[in-house]
Chains A and B, each alone.
Chain A
Amino acid sequence: MTTGVIEGIPPDPILERREMVQRVARKTLGRRILISRGMVALSGTALILALVPLFAILYSLVEKGLRWWSVEFFTKVPQFPSLIDPNAIGGISNAIIGSLVIDGIAALFAIPIGVVAGLFLAESISKFASMLRTTAEIMTGLPSILLGIFAYQMIVIGFDEWGVKLPGIGFSGVAGSFAIGVLMIPVIMKASETALRGVPTPIREAGLALGARRGVIARKVVIPTALPGLITAVLLAFSRAVGETAPILWVIGASNMVEWNPRKEMASMPLQIFESATSPYVALRDEAWGIALFLVFVVLVINLGSRLFAAWLQRERR
């Protein structure tokens, strides 16, 4: 009791309050523990529920797709089944090469632009920089189909208005690269900005103290320090771009041969999955799983590889 053993000392409000709280706590303990256990169980259920569809997809992919993987699958060009030979479907070598070329060219121009723009965002405090940041946020949230429309109208068809004339080059791999590149740039921008901002200020200041100018500091100090984060950002953006279908849906045409020239029509893995899955040939619909498994495999390898690489770089530093 707060009045205590010793007579004559006035009751202490804080102690009183503490005793009251403890009393209530003791009374409600049973109920609170029950609720807590219940919610924890719900949380665990949520986790299991979250994992179920994901494992289901992986299982379907492996179960239906793995049997398509063969030397022929990776080396031959596709054939169309016919009524006399419904299982003659060849392989997907054209799609693999096409994806490589299209995504490679996209990365070639998107990565430098994205990283440099990210550096700009990290270093500049002008109004232009904050406007650019907002624009990048808007662009990352945009449906990628709009970029496909953009590439279609700029590059496939060409542009002939307001005094600006851009010849259209028809369906081509470059149109796809353009769409995917523009898709990648804002993602790389935002992630590089985060990585570059993560470089501690003392390191930058040390560079200034040694007499280096901003450009040199950026090139020789900031970027190398932020390299693990930058590489992760770039590779993650790239892995997302590899799987995009909507931007290249109408702009790369279709090709049943291995085509290295990006000015011509090409095939691409995500597009091939879409076409095969919606084609009238039963054998091709089944083959779509094999292509899907390979695409997921490639994406996962890039993801995993980027994390391992970044971790290795960081370890070296210590």
Chain B
Amino acid sequence: MAEMPAGPALATSESPLTEDAKRFSVKGDSAHWGVLYGVSGLFALICAVFIVSIVVSSIPAWRHSGLSIIYGRVWSQGTNSFGALPIIAGTLCTTAIALFFAIPIGVGAALAIVHLLPDRLRILLSSLVELLAAVPSVVYGLWGLLVLAPWFEKTVEPDLASITGGKFPFQAPPEGVSLLLAGCVLFVMILPMIVALSRDAIAVVPHDQFEGALSVGATKWQVLRKVVLPGARTGIVGAITLATARALGETVAVAMVIGLNPLFPPSLFSTASTLASTIALQFQDATPLQVAALGALALILMAMTAIVNWFGRRLVRGSASRAAVT
């Protein structure tokens, strides 16, 4: 820290230099840290109240039904029975369908954008995809309900049913609103996110590594597979984690296209329900016990998101340590 050499005439007891010395110390400038800690503390307080209120509000439900909330199969407000297994299944199913399509198509598209396109097209398409990632989810719901649903019901679902001859998993009568439709709407929603974030990750793999691999005679695909993808692994896994969390928690778009039926969906064409859409539907008119049950659903949803995040971080850490070794 800077300190002026003591001059001859500064004899006052509270020398400005001592004041400055106090402020220059690493922990000094209490005003600055005060503001920082204060604001961060305020935000931490809001988050704490939020999380605690969800946990506490769900306690009556856990006391009423215990863990059967998670494995019970009947969710009925009329009889106050709270078995959320079909709803959890619906959530997992729609997210799985979305990821099943979005991961290969998203990562593949990102690879194509970074490595297969000429410069101008790359910038154009990247910007396009990033801008599309900003489209609000209600617009996806609108499109899914008014455009995709009729098409599914008239064309797609009958075609799929004819593949398996009307058996699992396509055995229900085609209705439009269904598990499959919700999964596809989610797929379209998370696709730009995965493409944009994977593209960022793939783009930062050093070009020297890419060229170096080419120079020893590897084909383009070999380079992509053995150099680029592993290098971008952190970013891609991060992108998929983020997309999964979004798909799990998506409320409005899913509620518009899933049919809101809290039964176990026996087929991809059945109506179903997800955790977030059930909460959205039933929250306003819930008795205190039912509010608690919905709070339990919220808790389950938060737990699922946390597990996904933790899993993502484990995958990333694995690759980081491997990279450190090589």
Chains A and B in contact, CB within 8 Å? yes
- CB pair A143–B188 under 8 Å, yes or no, is no
Min Cβ gap A18→B in Å is 11
What separation, in Å, do the CA atoms of A139 and B146 have in the docked complex? Answer: 32
Which chain A residues lie closer than 8 Å to B142 at the CB level? 273, 277, 288-289, 292
For the complex, would chain B's binding face be called helix, strand, loop or mixed by DSSP majority? helix
Partner of B139, one of A45, A61, A132: A61
- CB pair A145–B249 under 8 Å, yes or no, is yes
> B176 near A: Cβ within 8 Å?
no
> A259 near B: Cβ within 8 Å?
no
> B318 near A: Cβ within 8 Å?
no
Which chain A residues lie closer than 8 Å to B276 at the CB level? 143, 145, 246
Which chain B residues lie closer than 8 Å to A56 at the CB level? 143, 147
What separation, in Å, do the CA atoms of A120 and B41 have in the docked complex? Answer: 10
- CB pair B134–A117 under 8 Å, yes or no, is no
> B315 near A: Cβ within 8 Å?
no
Whether A113 touches B42, Cβ cut-off 8 Å, given contacts A60-B147, A149-B283, A246-B251, is yes
- CB pair A142–B302 under 8 Å, yes or no, is yes
A-contacting 9-mer, from B103-111, B155-163, B165-173, B262-270:
B103-111
- CB pair B280–A132 under 8 Å, yes or no, is no
B-contacting 9-mer, from A2-10, A77-85, A212-220:
A212-220
Which chain A residues lie closer than 8 Å to B217 at the CB level? 25
- CB pair B139–A295 under 8 Å, yes or no, is yes
- CB pair A303–B134 under 8 Å, yes or no, is yes
Which chain A residues lie closer than 8 Å to B137 at the CB level? 243-245
Min Cβ gap B144→A in Å is 9
> A304 near B: Cβ within 8 Å?
yes
Size of interface on B: residues with Cβ below 8 Å to A: 86
What separation, in Å, do the CA atoms of A185 and B1 have in the docked complex? Answer: 34
What separation, in Å, do the CA atoms of A138 and B252 have in the docked complex? Answer: 20
- CB pair B301–A40 under 8 Å, yes or no, is no
Partner of A117, one of B39, B139, B252: B39
Whether A249 touches B252, Cβ cut-off 8 Å, given contacts A35-B219, A243-B137, is yes
What separation, in Å, do the CA atoms of A96 and B274 have in the docked complex? Answer: 31
A-contacting 9-mer, from B6-14, B67-75, B76-84, B220-228:
B220-228
Residues of B within 8 A of A (CB): 1-2, 20, 23-24, 28-29, 31-33, 35-37, 39-40, 42-44, 46-47, 50, 53-54, 57, 104-109, 111-113, 116, 125, 128-132, 134-143, 145-147, 187-188, 191-192, 195, 217, 219-222, 224-225, 242, 245-246, 248-252, 256, 276, 279-280, 283-284, 298, 301-302, 305-306, 308-309
Residues of A within 8 A of B (CB): 25, 32-33, 35-36, 38-40, 42-47, 49-51, 53-54, 56-58, 60-61, 112-113, 116-117, 119-121, 123-124, 128-129, 131-132, 135, 137-139, 141-147, 149-150, 152-153, 182, 185, 189, 208-211, 213-215, 218, 236, 239-240, 242-246, 249-250, 270, 273-274, 277-278, 285, 288-289, 292, 295-296, 299-300, 303-304
- Ranked 7 nearest A-B pairs via Cβ: A243-B136, A143-B249, A46-B108, A215-B32, A36-B219, A36-B221, A141-B245
Some 8 contacts from A to B, beta carbons below 8 A apart, are A33-B219, A43-B108, A43-B111, A116-B39, A124-B36, A128-B40, A138-B302, A300-B131
Additional pairs, 11, CB under 8 Å, beyond known A137-B309, A243-B134, A246-B251 = A53-B191, A60-B143, A113-B39, A117-B36, A139-B47, A144-B249, A214-B33, A243-B136, A277-B146, A295-B136, A299-B135
